[in-house]
Amino acid sequence: MASSSFRRTDGSPKTVIVTGGAGGIGAQTIRTYHEKGCNVVIADLPFAREAAEGIISTLSGPNRALFQPTNIVDWTDLKLLYKTAIKEFGQVDIVIANAGIMESKGFFEFEEDENGELKEPVEAYRVIDINLKGTMNNADGARGSIILIASTSGYFGGTGVVSYISSKHGVVGLCRSSQRVANQYKIRVNVVAPFFTPTYITGGYSDAWKERGLPANTVEDVATAIVQTSIDSQYKGHSVMVAGKIVREIEAARTALTTQWLGCEIAQVMADGGKFFDDMNGYTLPKARG
């Protein structure tokens, strides 16, 4: 019998959408939710159909799973994803915004066109679009519990992977800035930030990492943290870092250290400013120009 955490109040299974669900962390997250008795929706690009259908064929109840081809930066695709999930399973209860990519060449590897002029960094924009815009699309459309997949790169940036790191910092900012509205609509938005996990995007250095004897996640480690964070009603605006077998909540810890970090005077200024916007019920937005 599935835990009540994975069932609606009427006793029916909860429905979970996982973007980028046909491989790596996403695929294991699909398996874990399904094992808990949930309906699962694999949202991934059309080329992932065979992989997604392969996953579904291994599940004990394939009638509780479906694949929906989805480009997360395409609003029409996103609307169809949610419409399909709701038509099949009644409602969407949990969304895991997991889909993401890493650039295949460095941001500062400048290229010139035939006229000797600098080329636009199109690939860098694509990383930002998928990792941040695509995540924002899911945060905008979902109801219930939302997990945004960031990375330790959402807090640290020393590896020099400019577009990926920038996008993951953006995901952390998305979670922080969403809390007022999330509380208003009784939605829980949290982050899971995995440390190094052997997947497709880390394939270029996974063997060397292992040879160095450094700790690594498994996809099972990360999937377990995602599932637990999504159902823990105490988590609202939290960030759970997964580093091997070590799982730590880091957002509340960062907040608690604000005074030590900034000093008493600046911390008080920031607190007073925060209270001002609380009293104003949020930021007063400027009028659009032009």
Phi-psi sector, 223: left (phi>0), alpha (psi -120 to 50), beta: alpha
Nearest to 32 by CA among 72, 11, 53, 3: 3
Q: How far is CA 112 from CA 81, 115, 120, 156, 160, in A?
A: 39, 7, 9, 31, 22
Nearest to 82 by CA among 73, 98, 70: 70
Give kind and range of the element (H or E) at residue 221: helix 219-231
Euclidean distance between CA atoms 35 and 2, whole angstroms: 8
With beta carbons less than 8 A apart as the criterion, state whether 97 and 146 touch.
yes
- 205 in active site: no
Alpha carbon 172 to chain centroid, angstroms? 9
With beta carbons less than 8 A apart as the criterion, state whether 139 and 178 touch.
yes
Q: Which of 164, 200, 205, 283 is catalytic?
A: 164
Please classify residue 214 by burial: count the beta carbons closer than 10 Å to its beta carbon, then call 0-12 exposed, 13-18 middle and 19+ buried: exposed
Euclidean distance between CA atoms 75 and 155, whole angstroms: 28
Structure-token pair, residue 280: 């104003």
* 3: DSSP letter: -
Please classify residue 117 by burial: count the beta carbons closer than 10 Å to its beta carbon, then call 0-12 exposed, 13-18 middle and 19+ buried: exposed
Q: Which residues are catalytic?
A: 164
